[in-house]
Every structure is written in C-alpha cells, then in structure tokens.
Structure 1
Amino acid sequence: MELPKRVLSIQSHVVSGYVGNKSAVFPLQVMGFEVDAINSVQLSNHTGYKLFYGQVLNEQNLMELVSGLVENDIHFYSHLLTGYIGCPKFLSKVAEVYKILKEKNPNLIFVCDPVLGDNKKMYVPEEMLDVYKNEIIFLTDIITPNEYELELLSGKIINTVKDINEAITILQNLGCKTVVVSSFNHSETNLKSVGKSIFSENIVEIDIPYIKYSFIGTGDLFAALLLLWMSLNNNNLKESMEKTIATIQAVLKRTVHYIIQANPKNFMFNKELKLIQSISDIQNPNVTIFGKLV
C-alpha cells in the first residue's frame, strides 16, 4: 500500500493574494497531496502593498501546534515544506519539528525555500543566516535558493554559472541532497535555473525567457511545484524542473494578460498570481522549455 502524500507546510499566509502558503497549498492539493499549513505570519496582504496588518507566530506558538499533532498521533508526514520565517528562534524550532516528524517517518522529505532576500538585499534578520547554515542545511533533502540566497548560504560570490555550480557543491558538502537555484540573472533576455542532485552526476540547466513584470510569490510556488514533481517523478530532477518552470511560465503569462486587461488603478492587486485560473497548467504542464544536462 502506497503511503499517503501528506505535507506540513510552515510559511507565511496572506488573507488576500498568493504568497507563502496561499501560493503553495493549492497546487499541492490539486495534485493529490494532503497539506496541513502552519502560518509563520498571517497578514492582510503581502508587504508590496502600501500597508499591511497582521500577526506573527512565535516559537512557543509553533511548538504548541506541533504538540497537538503529536499528542493526537496525527503527525505522520511524507514531506516538510518551509518558506518565509522571520525569526531566528522560530527557525531553530523548525529544526526541532523536523526531528519530531523524522522520528515518526524516517522517510520524511524536507524541502526548504530559504527565504533570506533578493537583489543583494536581506529582508530578514542577519541572524537567520547562521541558523540556516548551522541548523537547517544539513537536514534538507531539497533546497531552493535564489541567486542571492545561494551566495549567502555558500559564502561564494556568484557571477557565472560556474560559480553557481561551485556554490551548489558547497551546500551539498554540508549535507543537502538536492540544490535547485530557482533563478539566476544569466543575460539581458534570459534567467537560468540550475539544479544538482546527489542522485545524478549531471547538472541541470534551464534557460527561462524574461517576463517584463516582477511578481511576488513565485519562489513559494516554485518550491511547492518542485516538491510535488520530484515526488511524482521518482526524483527525476530534469523532468521535475521542466514541469515546475512550465507551470510557472503559464501562471505568469496568464497573470500578465489580466494586468493588461484590468483597471490600472489597483496595479498591485492585478499582479497577484492567477493560480486558480491556471489549474489545468498545474495538473498538466505543457513543457516547451527543456533543460540540458551538463
């Protein structure tokens, strides 16, 4: 009997919009994964708007929720997925949660999106970096940093694809099994995604055409999609990255269409990812951008 695909997802939540758990839970569910969500923060909307309100979960709150799962013996998960966490003490407790879940299911897969910053700027406390490096990385099965986050975690400045490959090796030497860089500014016309797994000698590279708008929530979506396709494709990294990127491109193109058609007075709202409208692209991604093995 196949074990259930059940994910505990610990990351941010917004009432309106699609970032964090709002971006990750839906695609996992429509692909047959049960998802239990713990919201590291709960905000009215993402922080790109002119204002936002909400609450922050602390490390004690996290352990209370997990204790409820454990004491009711409902803490068997196939996957742990983490995203935005803004407090070092909370992140340290995530390592403790991992160990609790791993004891219950020794085959637990930990997928970590190490949300630290972007465009050479950190937007979490600097102490978070030490927790990721010293307490989290060696536990992870899959980690999905962007270019800047890879620099921070590896300690290596990245200017070329060769630098990325060397930085990935550094993380793998620290214990992470699979590293997938969600985006690297490769040229004026293309982004590049690069992945390497201990299950293969090859590095996977995929060139991704630029879309002129910037979006929030794509990293959260990337990690969730990669989790589900690595699970469904028996850890075939090339195919999983291709399907993940195909879905994200479809979602972004549909979102751009809505931006163009919509009233420009609420541009930020119009830029929210059109996930619900893209359900068919989540379930059956049309791969037109193929990766290469190097």
Structure 2
Amino acid sequence: MKLYEVIDTINKKYPEYLQYNWDNSGLNIGDKDSEIKKIMLTLEVTESTVDEAIENNVDLIISHHPFLFSKINKINKNDIKGNLIYKLISNSISVYCMHTSYDVAIDGLNDYFFELMGISNEYILDESCTNENYRNGESYGLGRVGSLEETMKVKEFISKLKSKLSIKNVRYVGKLDKKIKTVAVVTGSGAEFFEKAKELDIDVLVTGDMKYHQAMDALEIKMSVIDCGHYGTEHIFADSIIGFLIENLKDIEISKSSNIIDPFTDL
C-alpha cells in the first residue's frame, strides 16, 4: 500500500484539519508515493524508536507527539533532531503524527481512556467547534466527561487508575476520603481545565502536567484533580489506535514500539 493511501485511510476517521492551529499533526517526514509494508506505533519519535524501526525494517512510524514541532534552522548530524532526520531519510522511514487531531476526535485518545477505565462517555469537556465535513457537522473538542458505574472513594478510583494505566504514582489535589461519581479527563496537559470542571460540578479531573499554582488554586476552590503525568495518560496511544489500523490496513504489518518509556524515574 502507498503511504498516501495509508494517510487517506487515517484521515477518513481522524482528519488532520481537526488539529489546533499551533500543532503539527500529519506527515512530518516522508514520500507519499513510497510503499508501506510495516508500521510501528509510538508515543514519541526518539533515537531508540528510530533505531528500533531501522532494525525491524519499518517503513512508517506513527507517533502521537509531532516529530517536528519547534522551528528548525539547520539540519546536521551533531544535533539530536538533525541526526534523527538523517537516519530516517537515509533508511526511507516516514513519520506520521496524530496529535491534537486525535485528541479531539470522536473515538480518539480521550474516548479510549474512558473505555479503558469503564467510564460512560456523556459529553465533551471543551467543545472546539464543528466542521460540516466532519461526521455531518458533529461537535468535537478536548476532554471527555462521564460517570462511574457507582460512586466510590477517590482513593479506590486512584488505585484502579494506576492499575489500568500501569503507572506507579499519581499526584492528587483534594481530600482522599472524597466520594466521586462524575469524572472529566484531558489526556496529556490539561490542568488548565480545572476551573471549567468545577463550573460543571464535576467531582474529579484526571490529566497531567499540573503546575504548583494551578494546584493551589484548585485546592482553594475545592476542585479535585488527579495528575497522572503526561506519559501516564498518553502512553496508551499505540493501544488505542492499533485495532483501527489492523482492521483497515489489511496488508500491512503493524506493531507497537518496545521503547515507549517515561522519561521520569520514580525514586
């Protein structure tokens, strides 16, 4: 299958035009006419994932985070990013990224998070807008709000969260004996939505990357927040998309990278 056919298949369900204007989802590196036989899924394009792709004769890396994000003024082998660009191009490996276009889409990362946790999906936390070309004008946006099957203490919910996400630690703002029913999630960095979650009378917000002053403000307004870290809420990207790709790209071998790692070490 040609790369442009792979991209067209993805865009039918997760169109690139859904992304925020500051984002760089889409084809970051590659020749749309190249032949794709092997795809590898990852959260981040790093030296380890690129070397893994080379070793396994991968033609296309699909990552959640954009490979090319900040402005690049030069490309040389002495630079981390430049060296990876050299490696990718010299080994004919393309890179396609599904970032905020996948975060806000229906059946995207936030919806998968709720599915994993067994939480009913009721509405979008922050509706971006509508587009007449997307699902007949259906709304899309960042974050999801839903309800647990039954009320539970936040400590119990945190234990379940750590088990389902395979993470060791979370950071929590609020009272540990609080009973919760309604949950909002914004995978990745979504701490700024704590005030909106409070306005909507949501019991707890699950996200990552909460800053100290945000945490203090959340505590002041009695809004409970569980910070699982950026990695903690997004390392599930490969698991969330692999089923769709296997079902729709029949003649392509699809695998998950074995180098999806948290840059932080718990001590």
Short-chain TM bin:
under 0.3
Higher relative contact order (CA 8 A, sep 6+): 2
Q: Which has the higher helix share?
A: 1
